[in-house]
Amino acid sequence: MITALSLFGIGAAAGILGALMGLGGGIFLVPLLTLVFDLPIRIAVGTSLVGVIATSAGVAAFAPRGRGGDVGLALRLELVTTGGAILGSLLTGMLSASLLNILFAVVVFFTAGYTLYKAGHRSDQGQPEDLFRQDYHPTHWTAGLSGAGMAGMISGLLGVGGGFIKVPIMYALMEVPLGVATATSNFMVGITAAASVFVYYGRGDIYPMVVVPTAVGVFLGAMGAVYLLPRMRAALLRNVLVGLLVLLGGYMLFKGVRG
Amino acid sequence: MAESSALEPVKPVEALEQQMQKVSLVLSLLGLVLMAIGLADNLVHGENYFLPGSAALTFGNLIHLRSESLGTFTISLGVIILGLIPGIRVTLALRLYLRLRDLFSICITLAVFMELLASIYLGAG
């Protein structure tokens, strides 16, 4: 019973953070399930994929009107992301785990640094930041699509949703407001996870005892995040995102250097 | 004419958002409730709670209703329903773009849908 409640609690925490940041939650679930519960990585990834879909569905189900993300932008980026994910999953066996970890860390540090740089640039201009500003027009499409393709490739390579790259790309590079970028990413990570979850299901990597409490927790956590998001300041949300990216990048770099 | 101007028409994108919201709510609750009922049923019928436990039913067993316990069947069905939600949301977007005759968006959405199918096929292969 304690194990089930722990899985529920971890799921709820991942759901809140994943939905708030537009990350899906897989980036927190996979390390926690392997480290805390000593589960094999394939079961952790399979569970995480169901969790990412639960986050995406939870946000979609409870988001207030006009806060559901930019579907057109999501589909345009997802076209390249899904292609990148397919390519990444095909390349997985050709690269060493150390190289993958270092690559992961470099991308994460770059996105964190660029997000901070853009935030500083905007505050220099003295503009108050509105999370759900509607008068935006995505810019830098070539760079944005390239970044989305890279996010997809890294998703395929590392078995994560890739939201931690998609949100900074949309926010910092394409000038999409942070709240819209987060909601759009939540829609996108659901599609990316759906592309893989049936493969894991078919391979027998979905375990009900693990999946059920985790998924229920994730869904309720995502519901809570929908309530919290409009009440949060953009600066706080951005700083939490950057902090998580730095921690994650440091951990992956450590793993990569140690081999 | 007066009626149509008096009643504020719902914009197509807002209508899509509402449809996605309804579908996500109904299917995710259905999937999660089925999963929770299935787990409860397994525990009531004497299965011990330990990790990782046994795997969900294979596609073949699910389709042919072959399961040793109703609980495992219900959980597996719940996972499948949850997994279908993103694809259904893409299909809803495609339906909207078809109605709007927005050729560019139709092509993009169809391509995403095909990629979704291709990635499943490649992974299963």
Instruction: Kindly tell me if the per-residue pLDDT of B6 is higher than 50.
Output: no
- Among the residue ranges A41-55, A155-169, B34-48, the one predicted with the least confidence is A155-169
B43 in contact with A at a CB cutoff of 8 Å? Answer: no
Closest partner residue to A82 (CB to CB) among B29, B59, B115 is B115
Contact A206 B55 (CB under 8 A): yes
Does the residue B6 lie in any domain?
A: no
Contact A209 B89 (CB under 8 A): no
Q: Compute the average pLDDT of residues A209-214.
A: 92
Per the structure, the count of domains in chain B is: 1
Instruction: Kindly tell me if the per-residue pLDDT of A196 is higher than 80.
Output: no
Q: Residue B3's pLDDT is what?
A: 42
Does the residue B4 lie in any domain?
A: no
Does the residue B38 lie in any domain?
A: yes
Domain containing residue B114: 11-124
Mean of pLDDT over chain A: 81
Q: What is the pLDDT of residues B24-77, one digit of tens each?
A: 999 999 999 999 999 888 888 877 777 777 777 777 777 777 767 888 889 989
Question: pLDDT-based confidence at A8, cuts 50/70/90?
Answer: very high
Instruction: Kindly tell me if the per-residue pLDDT of A216 is higher than 90.
Output: yes
Chain A: nearest CA to B4, how far in angstroms? Answer: 22
Residue B90 near residue B109 (C-beta atoms within 8 A): yes
Q: Residue A215's pLDDT is what?
A: 93
Does the residue B41 lie in any domain?
A: yes
- Best mutation target among B19, B51, B117 (most A Cβ atoms within 10 Å) is B51
DSSP codes, B83-100? HHHHHHHHHHHHHHHHHH
Residue A6 near residue A36 (C-beta atoms within 8 A): yes
DSSP codes, A102-155? HHHHHHHHHHHHHHHHHHHHHHHTTPPPPTT-S------HHHHHHHHHHHHHHH
Instruction: Kindly tell me if the per-residue pLDDT of A230 is higher than 50.
Output: yes
CA distance linking residue A32 with residue A239, whole number of Å: 22
Tokens of A236: 């706080």
Q: Residue B64's pLDDT is what?
A: 74
User: C-alpha angle B38/B41/B46, rounded to 5°?
Assistant: 130
CA distance linking residue A57 with residue A45, whole number of Å: 18
Does the residue B5 lie in any domain?
A: no
Contacts of A90 in chain B (CB under 8 A): 122
CA distance linking residue A134 with residue A131, whole number of Å: 9
Question: pLDDT-based confidence at B94, cuts 50/70/90?
Answer: very high
Chain B: nearest CA to A102, how far in angstroms? Answer: 25
Q: What is the pLDDT of residues A95-143, one digit of tens each?
A: 776 777 787 778 778 777 877 776 665 555 555 566 677 778 888 999 9
The separation between the first and the last C-alpha atoms of chain A, rounded to the nearest angstrom, is 37
Most confident of A129-133, A169-173, B9-13: A169-173
Does the residue B2 lie in any domain?
A: no
B87 in contact with A at a CB cutoff of 8 Å? Answer: yes
Tokens of A131: 């999370």
Q: What is the pLDDT of residues A25-35, one digit of tens each?
A: 777 787 788 77
Does the residue B23 lie in any domain?
A: yes
Contact B122 A90 (CB under 8 A): yes
Give helix A178-202 / helix A41-62 axis angle, nearest 10°.
140
Give backbone dihedrals phi and psi of A157, rounded to 5 degrees, phi first.
-70, -40
Q: How many CB pairs under 8 A join A and B?
A: 178
Chain B, 11-40: which have a CB under 8 Å from a chain A CB?
13-14, 16-18, 20-21, 24-25, 27-29, 32, 35-36, 38-39
Does the residue B86 lie in any domain?
A: yes
